Amino acid sequence: MREGRSEQHRTAGGRRPDTAGSRRMHWWALLAATFVLFAALTGCADFSSQDRDQAAGQFSANNDSFEQKQKTPSPEPSAPQNPGPPPTGPCVDPDPQVIATCLASTGGLMPGDDQATTTVVAERTTGKLITAKRYGPQRAIASFDVDGSGDGGLVDFALSPTYSQDRLIYALVTTASDNRVVRIAPGDVAKPILTGIPKGATGNMGALYFRSPTELLVATGDAGDPASAANPTSLAGKLLSVTSFGSGANPPPKILAAGFGSNVALCHNDTGSVYVTDRTQTEDRLQAVGSGAPKVLWTWPDRPEVAGCAVSSGQIFVTTTRTQQILALTEPTRDKPTITPPTVVLEKRYGALGRIVSSTSGAMLFATVNKASGNPVGTDDRVVRFIPPASSENRA
């Protein structure tokens, strides 16, 4: 592994005050918890007719701002309580940190509560969105018709910023003809928001992130064609800003950044900084997205197959598929822009790793991708709870 290039980066869309960023993270956790509760009450819904947008009509408008709530302190991450004697069966994993088992190959995921003891996870190859907790029942709360071949399928999802009112879920999916962003509501059909993202045998993995109540960031892979990532007329290999959410003809998204490779993932901190991991033909990368071109923070010429990233307590955590690791890098700041070399904080314990996400308490969840890229065991694929080690460097 060689040391990558590091330089001071600017935040995407400008630096936000800490209080606003913390409020956004708190709201995200509240919505996630509401999502799991709603799933438990409603059971399984099917939104398989993704192209019947004309018959389905228009969506109701999004609210223009987040509901203002008083910030409450986030508790420190704690170990899950012992629920008693474990059940028996082929899908019971003895590891106490494993909270979901026997999943199809996974895509995006999110915590369902502040302590990350529950999860919502996308089964990439089946198109199902699953809620789960350790020893608890798994519920499919949405099901999409997807093309799960290669690395396509139900790639990622994001809750509407006003989910507690509108119950809308956005998803990045692969169809028979393209990759696209859709959104769905309980009892309704999925409706296209952004279509025509190139599809390939590989390079379909991307990510979604609501940067504000009215802006959805969409990261797309290069669809197996690196030249398309640099082509301004192509939606492949880009970071896109989507601000129109109707089911009819929407204006083209704004291109914020270009040149991304395959397996593109997004992560962010609570002050608005956005980071991207991806794989190219010559190296894997971690980059910061600001107002200009992406800033390369670290490169891996040995190509460990970076799969996802998450930010917590001043550290960026990166998962890898081939080398089966979680790596920790100290997040750059204005005063200390130089990024430190990666430290291995977990290695070859759960097999091939996919996406990773942080919760407001600092606990994390990551998903395995052993069925697609590893040697699966009987309880794969899994979602695992992870408490990251504290940084050895004081970044205050």
Residue-wise pLDDT for 191-201, tens only, equals: 999 999 999 99
Could you state, in order of their start, the residue ranges of all structural domains in the chain?
98-386
Determine the average pLDDT of the residues in 70-79.
Answer: 46
Q: Which of 30-39, 162-171, 227-236 has the lowest mean pLDDT?
A: 30-39
**pLDDT of 313 over the 60 cut:** yes
Q: Give CA–CA dist 191/372, Å, rounded.
A: 28
pLDDT value, residue 195: 96
Q: Is the bond into 151 cis (omega within 30 degrees of 0)? A: no
Helix (H, G, I), strand (E, B) or coil at 209: strand
Inter-residue long-range contacts of 345-350, CB under 8 Å, 24+ positions, other chains counted:
345/317, 345/388, 345/389, 346/386, 347/323, 348/324, 349/324, 350/324, 350/382, 350/384
**pLDDT of 34 over the 70 cut:** no
pLDDT value, residue 87: 81
Extract the tokens encoding 107. 């895509």
**pLDDT of 67 over the 70 cut:** no
pLDDT value, residue 203: 98
pLDDT value, residue 393: 59
- Report the largest interatomic distance among the alpha carbons of the chain, rounded to a whole angstrom: 58
pLDDT value, residue 293: 86
Q: Give CA–CA dist 70/259, Å, rounded.
A: 40
- Strands 169-174 vs 154-159: parallel, antiparallel or unpaired: antiparallel
Q: pLDDT per residue over 266-295, tens digit each?
A: 999 988 899 999 999 999 999 999 888 899
Residue 7 CB: number of other CB atoms within 10 A?
12
First to last CA, the chain: 28
pLDDT value, residue 244: 95
Q: Give CA–CA dist 345/342, Å, rounded.
A: 9
48 DSSP 8-state letter:
-
Q: Give CA–CA dist 152/174, Å, rounded.
A: 5
pLDDT value, residue 175: 97
pLDDT value, residue 305: 98
> Homologous superfamily of 98-386 in CATH?
TolB, C-terminal domain (2.120.10.30)
Give the helix/strand (H/E) hosting 373: helix 370-373
pLDDT value, residue 79: 57
Tell me the average pLDDT of the chain: 83
Question: By C-alpha distance, which of 48, 94, 21, 85 is closest to 268?
Answer: 21
**pLDDT of 58 over the 70 cut:** no
Q: Is 90 exposed, middle or buried (0-12, 13-18, 19+ CB in 10 A)?
A: exposed
As a whole-number percent, the residues of the chain with pLDDT over 90 amount to 68
**pLDDT of 358 over the 80 cut:** yes
Q: Which of 9-13, 301-305, 368-372 has the lowest mean pLDDT?
A: 9-13
pLDDT value, residue 35: 46
Q: Give CA–CA dist 199/209, Å, rounded.
A: 20
